[in-house]
Structure 1
Amino acid sequence: MIVLDALVRLGPPPADPPPVVDWARTERSLGAALPADYKRLVETYGDGIFDETIRLLVPDSAYGDCDLHAQTRERDEILTGLWEFEAKPAALLEVGARVVPWAFEEGTGAFLYWLARPGQHPDEWTVLYNEGPGPLWEHHDMGCSAFLPAVLTGTAETDYFGHLRDVLRPAEHRFETADRTLGASRL
């Protein structure tokens, strides 16, 4: 909870609580349990975007681009096709290893995934960043709730978010709900 507290201090959540998520149904649908820090993140913020850059995926979002279920299916299909002609990242060569998307970088095609290894508890999943239209992957040895404040404050060691340092170091960080930023594009 301490990591989420740091994020809340950095970028306060919306005043109105997000809709309640049926986590049991979500995990059955995905075929995997999800990290506890992600569940707390979604229960605190709901779907939306941090600093106009990192858009959080949530189960059953009214917006297809923000829906964890829809994006998981779409990313699985895209990556399966991609790996027919491009090498998988080394972290995914382990039998049974997979990625599960949890956020994306607005306007770039880049996605943030969890690296889910066989036999590993979801709370131990780490973050993989994929640049999107390209083969480059970057591993971060932390969960999503630790990764977000590190990226937003510019303390994450990353080659990818380096070009966004000015954008991601505003005087005041903020989270905007999907309803506010995408209201006209509901499914």
Structure 2
Amino acid sequence: MTPLTALTALCPPPAAVPPAPDWSQVEDSLGTGLPQDYKDLITAYGPGQFCGFITLYQPHAPSEWADLTGPMPARLRGQIEQVRQTARHPWPLPHPPENLFAMGVTGNGDYLFWVTQPADTPDEWTVAVNEALRAPWFAYDGSLTEFLVSVLSGTTTVPMFPTDLLDHAPAFTPSALESSTPTTPGRPSVSTRTIRDWANANGYDLPERGRIPSEIIDAWKQQNPN
């Protein structure tokens, strides 16, 4: 059984999916090949969310916040070292920023990256996850599709993911592409660390890890409209 077959059995794709992009054009625009499992995954599922939480970047998405071929992957790569160096106690990076290619995001602002080594063999790329470009990092030694199968089956636990992620059966919800981070058009992405710090300072009982309730995000937006 291939990883995609295992994923579709665990989490069925939608009956109707938008046409797949021209992958040769996508790869030409990126200047790099892409893992075949990712191309098969996007072709099978289209845009949407796994468990209402994990969103994969798509080629030529209408929102730059979720566009694999837009500025977001390069922007995040450039911010990784900047965020680390401005921390009070800089943490070690598991991989050089130039070897990290952002390809997904969660509802809590955890970013999913490919570790692009070897650069010319994308089918060997593995997965790294972290929260808002800060420590800790979580490494998965396998493909993106294998990562999703392992996480959605409960075989792999990602420390920064909410503990209630699998309280209901795994599901994929098709949707128009939007960023899963709490942003508005034209507004820079805001880290979950910022929202957590604000919530704790304003009397909310918010655990250090897990999904941030929508009412807290809404309250933060009301207090921080710009």
- Map of 2:136 onto structure 1: 136
| TM-score, reference length from structure 2 | 0.69
User: Cα–Cα, structure 1 residues 174 and 59, in superposed 2: closer, same or farther, change >3 Å?
Assistant: same
Q: Contact 1:48–1:55 at 8 Å: present in 2 too?
A: yes
Give yes or no for the alignment of 1:178 onto 2:180: no
Deviation per CA, 1:52-78: give whole Å up to 9, x if none. Answer: 110111101123322112221331232
Give SS of 1:9's match: helix
Report the structure number with the largest CA radius of gyration.
2
Deviation at 1:114, TM superposition (A): 0.6
Whether the aligned pair in 2 keeps the contact of 1:18 and 1:44 (CA below 8 Å) is: no
Identify the residue that residue 189 of structure 2 maps to in structure 1. Answer: none
The residue that corresponds to 2:94 in the other structure is 90
Give the 3-state SS of the residue equivalent to 1:179 in structure 2: coil
The number of residues matched between the two structures is: 178
Higher relative contact order (CA 8 A, sep 6+): 1
Cα distance in 1, alignment partners of residues 178 and 115 from structure 2: 29
Q: What secondary structure does 2:127 align onto?
A: strand
Q: Does structure 2 conserve the Cα–Cα contact (< 8 Å) formed by 1:100 and 1:113?
A: yes
SS at match of 1:136: strand
| 1:23-172 superposed matches below 5 A | 23-70=23-70, 71-85=72-86, 86-87=90-91, 89-92=93-96, 98-106=99-107, 108-119=108-119, 121-161=121-161, 164-170=162-168, 172=169
Contact 1:100 / 1:116 at 8 angstroms: preserved in 2?
yes
Q: Deviations over 1:66-97 (max 9, x none)?
A: 2112221331232253355445513328xxx5
DSSP 3-state at the match of 1:147: helix
Q: Which runs of 5+ in 2 are unaligned?
A: 187-226
Structure 2 counterpart of 1:11: 11
RMSD across aligned C-alpha pairs, in angstroms? 2.6
TM-score by length of 1: 0.82
Q: What residue identity is the alignment partner of 1:59?
A: P
Q: Distance in 2 between matches of 1:84 and 1:176?
A: 37
